[in-house]
Amino acid sequence: MMMAALKTRWLTIWQQRSAPEQRALRWLMWIVLGALLGQMLWSLEQSRRLLHRQLPVLAEQAEQARALRDAWRQLDAGRDQQRSPRADTVRAEIAQRLPELGTGIVAEWAAGGELNLKGKADFALWLKWVAAIHEDFRLVLSRCRVTNSAGGVDIDASFSLASSQP
């Protein structure tokens, strides 16, 4: 209904114009449409040129991403092929390194190869020791409680092999 009213109003206005005015308005409409079409084509061409310049950069970035993916896969495959140290070797090495924490730490091996530590130690030495056994034996903290006490910290921690962690 509204469209019909708008159409009749437009036709009324158009018919009130003389023939030369109608011809001039038609020419003006074609000029404006031509300018809009030209602007659209110009914008499309500029975008095409920009994308054409960016293509080599994007191809190089894609190649870098492929190289990173391949390197990651190699590292991931190498990690799977790394053999974990034998349990008896780990136990012997841990027993040798335990005095680094002082005499207040007691180690206990649970079923499944889990190492439980309890006792008192210096916090800085504890952090270095945890980092070293993680690096050397792939043992990670599965549970840890460290509380401040006089002369150091009280430690109650469990370690397990990194491969057994979720």
pLDDT tens, position by position, 12-63: 999 999 999 999 999 999 999 999 999 999 999 999 999 999 999 999 999 9
In this prediction the pTM is: 0.47
Asked whether residue 128 carries a pLDDT value surpassing 70, the answer given is: yes
Range 100-107 average pLDDT = 84
Question: What is the arithmetic mean of pLDDT over 140-157?
Answer: 88
Closest C-alpha to 128, from 159, 101, 165: 101
Identify the architecture of domain 87-164 in CATH. Answer: 2-Layer Sandwich (3.30)
Q: What percent of the chain has pLDDT over 90?
A: 47
Provide the edge-to-edge strand list for the sheet that holds 152-161. 105-109, 115-121, 152-161, 139-149
134 and 154 in contact (C-beta within 8 Å)?
Answer: no
State yes or no: pLDDT of 166 exceeds 90: no
**Residue 109 phi, psi (nearest 5):** -95, 125
- C-alpha Rg value of the chain to the nearest Å: 39
In the predicted model, is pLDDT for residue 96 greater than 50?
yes
